[in-house]
């Protein structure tokens, strides 16, 4: 997994982060997208928490997911803990897959996370629901026992790649009210 952080803080409480993404390999179990609200909790080992909007453009259909997760640093062998997710299967793959750019957007504002894939609006998340999941993390992952992780909407923004090559273009962060 690769996380490329573009901003460590969007600089405003409400923002829309959008980018065009192309999966250049179309491999099984490959995911590409963007991440937001990234934070590192250091207790006793660094643990990365973030939300991600990602997709898999593999045959026979495209699958899109908006999900929060918790991941120990790469030096540790612990698997990531997946949190609440909205998974939307059934998008038709692009006809000319090597040239198929997908538009992803996440808007964080007023305690909600709104997301779109191409022109489709996905189900929205309430940050309170995500915060409830984060409060349970110490039960699931003992290194977080004393950390009390919180969801920080103004955390880092960046690009997410898992098991593939990808291209990104036209990334934007826009303040919203």
Q: Delineate the domains of the chain, giving CATH numbers in brackets.
A: 2-175 (2.60.120.200)
> What sign has the CA pseudo-torsion 116, 117, 122, 124?
negative
pLDDT exceeds 50 at position 176: yes
Residue 15 token pair? 């923002």
Other CB atoms within 10 A of residue 28 CB: 10
| β 112-117/62-72 pair status | unpaired
| Residue carrying structure tokens 């997911």 | 65
Compute the mean pLDDT over every residue in the chain, rounded to the nearest whole number.
79
Beta bridge partners of 114: 107
Predicted confidence band of residue 71 (pLDDT cuts 50, 70, 90): low
pLDDT exceeds 70 at position 108: yes
pLDDT exceeds 60 at position 94: no
pLDDT per residue over 34-61, tens digit each?
999 888 877 667 778 888 888 887 755 6
pLDDT exceeds 70 at position 63: yes
What does the pLDDT read at residue 19? 97
- Full-model pTM: 0.83
What does the pLDDT read at residue 69? 73
CA distances from 153 to 14, 50, 67, 113, 144 (A): 8, 9, 14, 9, 19
pLDDT exceeds 60 at position 74: no
For 55-79, what is the mean pLDDT?
Answer: 65
What does the pLDDT read at residue 82? 64
pLDDT exceeds 60 at position 160: yes
What does the pLDDT read at residue 121? 86
pLDDT exceeds 90 at position 154: no
Predicted confidence band of residue 78 (pLDDT cuts 50, 70, 90): low
Please tell me which residue, 36 or 129, carries the higher pLDDT value. 36
Helix H or strand E segment including 174: strand 166-175
Predicted confidence band of residue 96 (pLDDT cuts 50, 70, 90): very low
């Amino acid at each position: 997994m690769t996380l490329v952080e573009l901003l460590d803080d969007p600089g405003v409480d409400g923002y829309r982060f959008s980018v065009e993404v192309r999966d250049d390999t179309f491999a099984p179990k490959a995911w590409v997208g963007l991440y937001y609200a990234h934070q590192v909790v250091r207790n006793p080992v660094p643990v990365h928490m973030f939300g991600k909007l990602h997709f898999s453009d593999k045959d026979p259909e495209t699958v899109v997911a908006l999900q929060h997760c918790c991941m120990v640093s790469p030096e540790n062998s612990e698997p990531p803990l997946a949190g609440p997710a909205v998974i939307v299967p059934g998008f038709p793959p692009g006809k000319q897959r090597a040239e198929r750019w997908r538009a992803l957007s996440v808007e964080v504002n007023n305690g909600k996370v709104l997301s779109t894939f191409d022109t489709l609006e996905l189900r929205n998340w309430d940050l309170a629901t995500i915060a409830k999941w984060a409060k349970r993390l110490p039960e699931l992952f003992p290194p977080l026992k004393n950390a009390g992780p919180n969801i920080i909407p103004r955390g880092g923004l960046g690009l997410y790649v898992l098991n593939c090559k990808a291209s990104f273009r036209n990334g934007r962060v826009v303040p919203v009210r």
